[in-house]
């Protein structure tokens, strides 16, 4: 709670907005219910809900224990579900709408080795968001998802690239040539939750500098070919006759 209060004070001093810190373990549905009740009591029903619960670490899947699997899926999938369902039920009772936004990852769609619990749980979050976009929009709720590529933060990179070995490789496979920034993600999130995006519902927005499309393209490694090499290749192709 000390960390939450200090963070709330920092946000409040920088923005001038009132911030109320509530301690909650999203894996515990009773704590979630109590937190939502306190939220409504202090600030009223929310009109924006950001589902950003995440837990992850790299590991060969054969080294994972059942507890490791359960820890990640409890935070990412169950935690997101408990918060979404509790707030959604309260909004339905109050006949109020809201914008829900989930933060997942590009490998929720493609899958990825060495982060299998996270990939599985994030895919579940995306399926839930699309399902509720179809079912609960009649109550005035919208559900969208952002799939970020690599954004360098201490918390993420200390677990996903603790030695710093893979950062250059990450940048090499991003067509934009750099990692994303927190500010860019915040701007996209603010837009999707705003009235400017009131007709965007059930969307999954890739935010990865083009990483996923580069990885998935059969011939995209040809971007390494130089102009001179292309001249040679073109000449060889033109000489080809028949099949």
Catalytic residues: 107
The string of DSSP codes covering 120-146 is: HHHHHHHHHHHHHHHHSGGGTEEEEEE
145 bridge partner residues: 102, 204
Backbone Cα Rg of the chain: 22
| Angle between helical axes of 66-73 and 116-135 (0-180°, round to 10) | 30
Element (H, E) at 147: strand 141-148
Cα 107 from Cα 166, distance rounded (Å): 17
* 103 in Cβ contact with 89 (< 8 Å): no
**Which token pair is 136?**
């609960």
């Amino acid at each position: 709670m000390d960390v939450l209060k200090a963070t709330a004070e920092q946000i409040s001093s920088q923005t001038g907005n009132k911030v109320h810190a509530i301690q909650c373990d999203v894996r515990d549905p009773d704590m979630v219910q109590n937190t939502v009740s306190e939220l409504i009591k202090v600030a009223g029903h929310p009109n924006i809900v950001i589902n950003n619960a995440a837990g992850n670490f790299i590991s060969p899947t054969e080294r994972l224990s059942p507890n490791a699997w359960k820890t990640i899926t409890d935070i990412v999938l169950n935690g997101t579900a408990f918060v979404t369902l509790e707030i959604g039920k309260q909004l339905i009772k109050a006949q109020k709408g809201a914008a829900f936004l989930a933060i997942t990852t590009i490998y929720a769609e493609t899958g990825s080795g060495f982060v299998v619990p996270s990939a599985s749980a994030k895919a579940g979050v995306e399926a839930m968001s699309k399902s509720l976009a179809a079912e609960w929009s009649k109550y005035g709720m919208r559900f969208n998802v952002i799939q970020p590529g690599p954004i360098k933060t201490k918390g993420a990179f200390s677990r996903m690239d603790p030695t710093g070995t893979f950062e250059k490789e990450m940048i090499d496979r991003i067509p934009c040539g750099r990692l994303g920034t927190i500010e860019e993600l915040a701007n996209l999130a603010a837009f999707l939750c705003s009235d400017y995006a009131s007709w965007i519902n059930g969307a999954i927005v890739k935010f990865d500098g083009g990483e996923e499309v580069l990885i998935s393209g059969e011939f995209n490694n040809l971007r390494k070919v130089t102009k001179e090499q292309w001249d040679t290749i073109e000449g060889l192709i033109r000489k080809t006759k028949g099949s």
